A and B are shown apart, each in its own frame.
Chain A
Amino acid sequence: MPQLDLSAKLAVLADAAKYDASCASSAAPRRSSLGSDGKSKGGLGSTEGSGICHAYAPDGRCISLLKILLTNSCLFDCAYCINRASSNVQRARFTVEEVVALTLDFYRRNYIEGLFLSSGIIRSPDYTMEQLARVARELRVTHGFRGYIHLKSIPDADPLLLEEAGRYADRLSINIEMPTERGLTKLAPEKRLPSIRRSMGGLRVKIEDAAAERKLSPRAPRFAPAGQSTQMIIGADEASDVDILQTSVSLYSGYKLRRVYYSAFSPIPDASSVLPLKPPPLLREHRLYQADWLFRFYGFSLEDIAGATDGGMFDTAIDPKLAWALRNRAHFPVCINSGSREWLLRVPGLGAKVVDRILVARRHGRLTIEGLKRLGAQARKAMPFIEAADWQPGATLDGERLAARFRHQPSQLELFG
C-alpha cells in the first residue's frame, strides 16, 4: 500500500465512517477543565450533559464528533458495507498517534465535541479492539482529554479489552446491522446475531454493575456512562417496518439501549451485486424514527403501531401518529381542557412537551385554539381531533376527506436539492 498523507487518509477514513448514522455526544457525565478554584486543571475539554452539533452537512446530518475508522481494511465481507473485503475501495490506516493528534487539534479549534472511532476487523477482534481502546486511553490518560469518546465495540473481543474500552469511553456501540436474522445471514455472512446479542447483553450487565458500584463508592471505575446504542440498515433486505420496530423493541427492553439508529440503505461505490440499486428510502427512515418515538415516549404499544400500518408498512405520506388517529377516530375528539395526559399524547400535532404545558396551563382557565398555539402546538393538525373552549371539530373528524387532506400537503422533506 503506498503511503498516504494525513489529508488523504482522513478523506478515505471519514468517507468509510459516514454510513454510521450515530453522532450523538450527549449523556456523558459532567466534566470541566476548570477547577473549583477557578483555575485550569490542565488537560482539555468539557462535557455538560447535552451534546453539541458543531456543523451540519448538506445530508442534514449533524457533525458533532470526529467520526472516522482507524482502518477500512476488513476481513469481513458484509454486502452492504463499503469496507467489505471484496470491495475495491482505496484502503488506509491511521496510527494511534495520528488519531489522538487529530482529535486534539480539531477539538482545540471547537470543530468537534470529541471522537467516534470505529474500525474494520483486522487480524482478530482482540487486536482491533485493543487498538481502539489504546486511542481512548492515550486521549484520557496521556492528554487529560475530557471531551466525548464513543468507541465501536467488536463482538467477540476479549471481555478485558471491553472493560478497558468502557473505562475511557463515554459510549460503546455494537451495530445489529440487519433487522432480521435472515437478513444478517444473507448480507453479512461472518456476523452472527446470537453473538451480537450476547455482546449487547454483556455490555448492559457491565454498564449496570458499574453504575451500581458507583452509587456505593464514587471512586469506583466508570463503564460507558453514556450507555450503548446500535444501528440498523433500512431497505437493504425485505424486513417490514413492523419487523424493524419489533427488533428495536427487543433491543430497548433487553439491553437498555440509549438509541437505535435507523440508517436508510445508501448506494455505495463499488456495491455488491446482492444489493438493491436505488436511492435510499429517506422518508421511510424518517417514519421509523417517528414510530420509535411513539413507542418510547408516547405510550404506544407495538400492536398500536402495527395497527397503523398496511401489512407491516407505514404509509410514507403521513406520520405514524396521524395514521393511527385516522384509523381510530372513535376515540376522538379529545377535549384539551379535560383529556388525560395519556390521550392528549395520542393527538396528532401535540408533542410531549406541549402536552405537559397544556396540563399546567389549563389550571388557569379553559384553553382556546389561540392559547394552544401559544403553547407550541401544531393547531391545524390537531384541530380535527380535539375540542377546545372555542372549538368543536363537528363533522370534519368523520368526513371521508380528512385523510386525503393530510396526505396532499406538500412534503416537508426535500429529497433532491
Chain B
Amino acid sequence: MSFAIALSAPDDFEGWRDAAARLAAAGIPPEAVEWNAGDGADSLFGSAPSPLPDVPPQPIPESFRDLARFAICHADSQRFALLYRLLFRLTSAPGLLSNRADADVSRTHALAKNVSRDRHKMTAFVRFREVAREDQSPAFVSWFEPEHHILRLTAPFFVRRFASQVFSILTPKASAHWDGESLRFGPGASRRDAPDGDRFEALWLTYYASIFNPARLKVDMMKSEMPVKYWKNLPEAALIAPLIRDARARMQGMIAAPTASRAARGPGYLPQVEPAGGLTACRACPLHAMATQVVPGAGPENARMMIVGEQPGDREDLEGQPFVGPSGQLLDEALRRSEIDRSTIYLTNAVKHFHFEPRGKHRLHKTPTRAHVEACSPWLRAEIRRVEPEIILAMGATAARAVLKQEVAVKAMRGRVLSDFEGRKVLITWHPAALLRLTTREEKRAAWAEFLADLRLARDIAQIPLHLPFDGQAPEKPPEAAALSLSLQSDARRPQSPRHT
C-alpha cells in the first residue's frame, strides 16, 4: 500500500512531522510514501492525498527534530523522502544520528547546514529601505531572494532586532510583515513592490569604499563569504568592480609617494615617561619581557620588620602590589592571628617580576632561577639598606637564598634567628604558597602552627606593639585545626568566613 502525503507549504515542518510520526509507527517503508508540498517536490504521479494510518504517533527524538526543522527548508526536492527514510531507519538503529559517516545522516546534515548558512546570510544581507506610511511615520521594506525556504525560519530574528520599527521583507515566494505588534506572512512579491532607494545608501557606499584597504586585495576571500548570488540585492556591490580595478594603482601610488618629514611639534600631552634607570626600567634578566609590570616592595620606610617573599604571582603582576593574591590572603590571616598590623611592616619579594609558564589561557607559577634571583639582588639589597629593619623574615627557600646569599633548607633552618653577612637578624619560615600546596591535614596543621610561631617570634624581636581589632575586643581564637582547614582549604581569592567545628 502506498501513501501520498500533501503538505501545506514547502517549509511545513509540523505537517511533515505529524505525518511521518504516524507512518513510521505503522511501519510504512520509505519507498511507499510520496510527499507533496506544492513546490514540485515528489509529485510524479499526482495521487490524491491518503488518510494517515490510525496509530499513535511515534515519538521523534529531539536531536532529530532540530536537525529536520532546518533540513526541511532546503530547496532539494528529495528532502521529505530523505528525512522520512532517516526517521524510519532510526526506529531500528536509535544511535544512527551520531554516525556522520552514514550517507543519509551526512546528507541531512549537509542540507541543514546549507539552510543554516542561507538563514545566516539573510540576517546579514537584508537591506532595508525607508518609506513613509500614510501617517508619515517611517516603515522599512526589503527585497531579498533566498536560496531556500527560510523566510518563516528567519523572520523572528528581525522581529527581535527591530521590534520597535514597522517592516516588511519581500521574497519571490513569500513575504513577512511586522507592524510593531504581530508578525504576518503573505504571498510572494516582486522586486518592483520594494522601494528602489534610500537616503542613507550614499553614505553607506561612502563607508564601504573608505573602509576598504586597496593594499590588501583578497577577492576570493570576499566571494567565499559574500557569494556573488547575493550581490544583485546589495547596493554596495556596485562598487566592487571599480574598487578592485583601481586598487593596484592606489597601492603603488602610496609606495611611491615621497615620505613625510617629522613635523615640528607643539607642546602637547605626552604620557608620563618613566625615569631612565630605576626599578621599572630594569632589564637585567629576561622576566620583564613577559610580565605586566615590576612589583616593588611596599610599606613604611622606617618599618621594624621586613617580610621577603619569593616573587609576585598572577594577581600581584596585574595589580602591581605585593601579596594581594591567594598567598597574600593567607599571609593576612596569619598576621591577624599574630596580632601584627600589616601597615607597619615592609613587604617585598626576592624577585620583582612574575616568572610563569603560559598554559592556554592561564599562567602557571614557575620558581625563579638562581640567575633571576641574582639579577634582582641589587634591588633587594637597596630596600634592606633603606629600611634597615630590626628583623628580616624570609619566607621560603628563594627568599632565604636571596637574603643570606646561600642555599638554605627551610625545614631545617626555620625558627632560628640567623644573621645576614652584614649582621642583620634574619628569621626563615615557610612561604604561604607552600602551606597552600600541602595535602594532608596533619602536615597543614603542623606547618601553619610553625608559620604563626615564626611570625610571633619576629614580632617580638622587632618589638612591634600588639595590634588589636578596632572594637577593642580580643581577636576570636577558634581552635587551630579549624583555622587551618578554613585558611588552607583552597586558594580562593576571597578569605572564607570562619567555619567552626
Partner-B contacts on A (CB < 8 A) = 6-7, 10-12, 14-15, 17-19, 32-35, 39-46, 48, 52-63, 66-67, 75, 77, 85-88, 102, 105-106, 108-111, 121, 123-125, 155-156, 181, 190-192, 194-195, 197-198, 200-202, 204-205, 246, 249-250, 252-256, 264, 266-273, 277-280, 282, 296, 302, 357, 360-361, 363-365, 367-368, 371-372, 374-375, 412-417
Neighbouring B residues of A63 by C-beta, 8 Å = 208, 211
Partner-A contacts on B (CB < 8 A) = 95-96, 98-103, 106, 120, 123-130, 140, 142, 157-165, 180-181, 198, 200, 202-204, 206-222, 225-226, 234, 236, 240, 243-244, 247-248, 251, 253-255, 257, 259-263, 265, 268-274, 280, 289-294, 314, 317-320, 356, 358-363
Instruction: Choose among B203, B208, B212, B240 the residue that contacts A102 (Cβ–Cβ < 8 A).
Output: B203
Neighbouring B residues of A17 by C-beta, 8 Å = 211
Known: A18-B211, A63-B208, A279-B251. A253 touches B216 (CB 8 A): no
The B contact surface, by secondary structure, is mixed
Q: How far is the CB of A48 from chain B (nearest CB, A)?
A: 7
Q: Are A254 and B363 in contact (CB under 8 A)?
A: yes
Known pairs A33-B163, A253-B361 / 4 extra A-B pairs, C-beta < 8 Å:
A58-B240, A267-B251, A270-B260, A277-B255
List 30 contacting pairs A-B, 8 Å CB cutoff, sorted by A: A7-B203, A7-B206, A11-B210, A19-B213, A34-B163, A39-B181, A40-B163, A40-B180, A43-B164, A56-B221, A60-B225, A61-B216, A67-B211, A86-B260, A105-B203, A125-B271, A155-B271, A192-B271, A192-B273, A194-B293, A198-B292, A249-B358, A253-B358, A253-B359, A279-B251, A361-B100, A364-B102, A375-B106, A416-B248, A417-B247
Neighbouring B residues of A192 by C-beta, 8 Å = 271, 273-274
Nearest residue (CB) in B for A16 is B210
Q: How far is the CB of B155 from chain A (nearest CB, A)?
A: 12
Q: Are A197 and B204 in contact (CB under 8 A)?
A: no
Q: Are A53 and B124 in contact (CB under 8 A)?
A: yes
Neighbouring B residues of A14 by C-beta, 8 Å = 206-207, 210-211
Q: Are A18 and B243 in contact (CB under 8 A)?
A: no
Q: Are B213 and A45 in contact (CB under 8 A)?
A: no
**Closest 5 pairs (CB-CB, A-B):** A60-B221, A60-B218, A371-B101, A253-B358, A40-B163
Known: A194-B293, A361-B98. A85 touches B263 (CB 8 A): yes
Known: A42-B164, A266-B215. A414 touches B220 (CB 8 A): yes
Give Cα distance in the complex from A10 to B202, angstroms.
Answer: 11
Neighbouring B residues of A268 by C-beta, 8 Å = 254
Q: Are B272 and A156 in contact (CB under 8 A)?
A: yes
Neighbouring A residues of B164 by C-beta, 8 Å = 33, 40-44
Give Cα distance in the complex from A77 to B262, angstroms.
Answer: 8
Known: A55-B236, A194-B280, A269-B257. A414 touches B219 (CB 8 A): yes
Q: Are A10 and B210 in contact (CB under 8 A)?
A: yes
Give Cα distance in the complex from A204 to B124, angstroms.
Answer: 32
Neighbouring B residues of A7 by C-beta, 8 Å = 202-203, 206
Q: Are A105 and B142 in contact (CB under 8 A)?
A: no
Q: How far is the CB of A125 from chain B (nearest CB, A)?
A: 7
Q: Are A109 and B130 in contact (CB under 8 A)?
A: yes
Q: How far is the CB of B284 from chain A (nearest CB, A)?
A: 15
Q: Are A33 and B257 in contact (CB under 8 A)?
A: no
Give Cα distance in the complex from A360 to B419, angstroms.
Answer: 65
Q: How far is the CB of B184 from chain A (nearest CB, A)?
A: 13
Q: Are A46 and B361 in contact (CB under 8 A)?
A: no
Q: Are A205 and B165 in contact (CB under 8 A)?
A: no
Instruction: Choose among A60, A110, A198, A375 the residue that contacts B293 (Cβ–Cβ < 8 A).
Output: A198
Neighbouring A residues of B254 by C-beta, 8 Å = 267-269, 271
Q: Are B293 and A201 in contact (CB under 8 A)?
A: yes
Instruction: Choose among A35, A57, A279 the residue that contacts B208 (Cβ–Cβ < 8 A).
Output: A57
Neighbouring A residues of B234 by C-beta, 8 Å = 55
Nearest residue (CB) in B for A277 is B255
Neighbouring B residues of A55 by C-beta, 8 Å = 124-125, 208, 226, 234, 236
Neighbouring B residues of A414 by C-beta, 8 Å = 217-221
Q: Are B127 and A110 in contact (CB under 8 A)?
A: yes
Q: Are B292 and A415 in contact (CB under 8 A)?
A: no
Give Cα distance in the complex from A202 to B226, angstroms.
Answer: 38
Give Cα distance in the complex from A375 to B217, angstroms.
Answer: 32
Nearest residue (CB) in B for A35 is B163
Neighbouring B residues of A41 by C-beta, 8 Å = 163-164
Q: How far is the CB of A215 from chain B (nearest CB, A)?
A: 13
Q: Are B216 and A254 in contact (CB under 8 A)?
A: no
Give Cα distance in the complex from A268 to B140, angstroms.
Answer: 39
Q: Are A33 and B292 in contact (CB under 8 A)?
A: no
Neighbouring A residues of B214 by C-beta, 8 Å = 59
Known: A52-B120, A194-B293. A106 touches B102 (CB 8 A): no
Q: Are B265 and A85 in contact (CB under 8 A)?
A: yes
Known: A270-B260, A302-B358, A417-B248. A18 touches B210 (CB 8 A): yes
Interface centre among B214, B217, B234, B265 (most CB of A within 10 A): B217
Q: Are A111 and B259 in contact (CB under 8 A)?
A: no
Give Cα distance in the complex from A54 to B208, angstroms.
Answer: 11
Q: Are A272 and B260 in contact (CB under 8 A)?
A: yes
Interface centre among A77, A110, A374 (most CB of B within 10 A): A110
Q: How far is the CB of B222 from chain A (nearest CB, A)?
A: 4
